[in-house]
Amino acid sequence: MTALPSVRKPSFLSRLPIVSHLRISVGLQRGMLIVGTVLTGLFVLAAIFAPLIAPYGFSQLSNAAGEFPTQAAPSAEHIWGTTVGGYDVFSRTMWGAQTAISVIVIAVLLSIFLGVILGLLSGYIGGWLDRVLVVIADAIFAFPSLLLAIVMSIIISGGRSDLWGGIFAAAISITVVFVPQYFRVIRAETIRLKAEPFVESAKVVGASTWRIVGRHIFKNATRSLPLIFTLNSSEAILTLAGLGFLGFGIEPTAAAEWGFDLNKALADATSGIWWTGVFPGAAIVLTVLGLTLVGESMNDLNDPRLRGRRRAGKKKTSQVAQDPQGAAA
């Protein structure tokens, strides 16, 4: 009796979102994903090691040699120059990454927690609960996201706050904007999944509602969350920067924030002082670009039609290379 060949189960590392997408990506799509991953990785590393990378504190105005000059050009002592307030631009840019990632983590995790729970309940239970939650989500979704974040920031912290107060105010403001997005996605998947045969089978064998929702529907309905997480992270950075730029962010003595630094650099631009605005602006652009490239690449690779088309094209090219005479004929 012939033994069946054993099927090797993929390792946990190879099943992680970005790693698994790198394995199936080819050509330009792989290049976009690699560039996005590198930019996102640099942002995360800058946030984690900001205390080691930054030569000065985010609100430091002097050292042993004396007070820092204001609007000083890039030099050996201040490699990216100083601001009108005397802050070191390089240090504030590095510390700003730490503030941004704190807001992203808190805001997106809160959004996922609330959006997933409400989406599961609304999609599975239905009835009047579904109608009420859909109306509330649509009403929130109809407001411009930045305007809604400004209103929530004013309600929560009066528009300005200290480090953690400002971070939580910005995070909760962004959470209110993001919850309807997760709610819509999870609700739609839950409605689709509860009509599947495996859910009907679970009902027949007597599984409780909470077991069906938690064990069978939750795992299948949340497969697209890594994609939404990356796209919402980039939107969270822009919303945080918008709040800081408009003066509803965190106090400069409490934390570094890229949007606030851009606001203070507006007057410098007309005087030819470019360094106070270029570096915080570049940090926002590169971070959003990295997260967007990762999210869009994952979105394309999750589409079986696009993925199958690429694989078919790759297979055809390989066959032509192996048998050029047959291809010519």
Percent over 70 (pLDDT), the chain: 79
Per-position DSSP letters for 78-107, written without gaps between them: STT-B-TTS-BHHHHHHHHHHHHHHHHHHH
How many whole angstroms separate alpha carbon 29 and alpha carbon 21?
A: 10
The 10 Å Cβ neighbour count of residue 307 is: 17
Q: What is the pLDDT of residue 280?
A: 92
In the chain, what are the domain boundaries? 25-60+80-307
Q: Does domain 25-60+80-307 have CATH number 1.10.3720.10?
A: yes
3-state secondary structure of 154: helix
Task: Indicate the burial class of 301 (C-beta count within 10 angstroms; 0-12, 13-18, 19 or more).
Answer: buried
- Across 77-102, average pLDDT: 89
pLDDT band (50, 70, 90) for residue 20 = low
The residue type found at 242 is G
Token pair listed for 296: 């869009």
Q: Which amino acid is at 71?
A: Q
Task: Please tell me which of 124-133, 165-174, 214-223, 317-326 the model is most confident about, judged by mean pLDDT.
Answer: 124-133
| CA pair distance 244, 52, nearest whole angstrom | 25
Span 252-269, average pLDDT: 84
- The pTM of the full predicted model, rounded to 2 decimals, is 0.78
CA angle 59/42/179 to nearest 5° reads: 80
